[in-house]
Amino acid sequence: MGTIVITSNISLDGVVQDPDGQEGFVRGGWFQAHGGPDLAAWAELETAEALEADAVLLGRASDEWFGSRWNGRDGEWAERLNALPKYVVSSTVEAACWTNGTVLRGDVVDEVKRLKSEVAGEIVVYASNQLVRTLIEQRLADELRLVVFPVVLGSGTRLFEDTAGPVGLRLRESRRLGENLTFVSYAIVG
């Protein structure tokens, strides 16, 4: 049975909105501005994660974002990501934007349960905030991996806005990336 691994870049106060500054959020662009030279260590972590992944699960907007930036790239990380099977949750599109994509049109919970039964390894979820909330609320996510950036943005869409109740976590790993980034991994336990 597959495991759902949510991976996200996040500010210290939990904001995930507009890390590259292209969405028009007044506090966007924090990824590059506060990642700086530590982004090399971040890229090593992300490459290693991609090499271990067996599939990618995305929402529609994230599929469009990644597809517009990753299709046609080369290098070990890009080639691995582009080769992975991708599953896009959407009721509005006919085809995925990112290579090797399949659109999942049914009920999200049923589709993800089916996917977990069909994929034997890690199913990584990038960005896809609405989908992430659903996966956590429905207890379908198994692990949460966060790279915490050293900035407090004060406003913006947060990874955890409102939840139906507490979500139990167990620390699996924490370590420094470069000088100022922190990687943390939690098992979702209930």
**Which structure tokens are listed for 31?**
């990824």
User: 21-64 pLDDT, tens per residue?
Assistant: 788 888 888 888 899 999 999 999 999 999 999 999 999 999 99
- B/e letters for 155-190, b = 16+ CB within 10 Å, e = fewer, are ebebbeeeeeeebeeeeeeeeebeebbbbbbbebee
User: 1-22 pLDDT, tens per residue?
Assistant: 999 999 999 999 999 988 877 8
Q: What's the pLDDT at 89?
A: 96
Q: What's the pLDDT at 28?
A: 83
Q: Which domains does the chain have, with CATH numbers?
A: 3-188 (3.40.430.10)
Q: What's the pLDDT at 24?
A: 83
User: 145-182 pLDDT, tens per residue?
Assistant: 999 999 999 998 899 887 778 899 999 999 999 999 99
- B/e letters for 41-67, b = 16+ CB within 10 Å, e = fewer, are bbeebbbebbeebebbbbbbbbbbbbb
User: 73-107 pLDDT, tens per residue?
Assistant: 999 999 999 999 999 999 999 999 999 999 999 99
**Which structure tokens are listed for 9?**
């870049």
β-partners of residue 9 are: 147
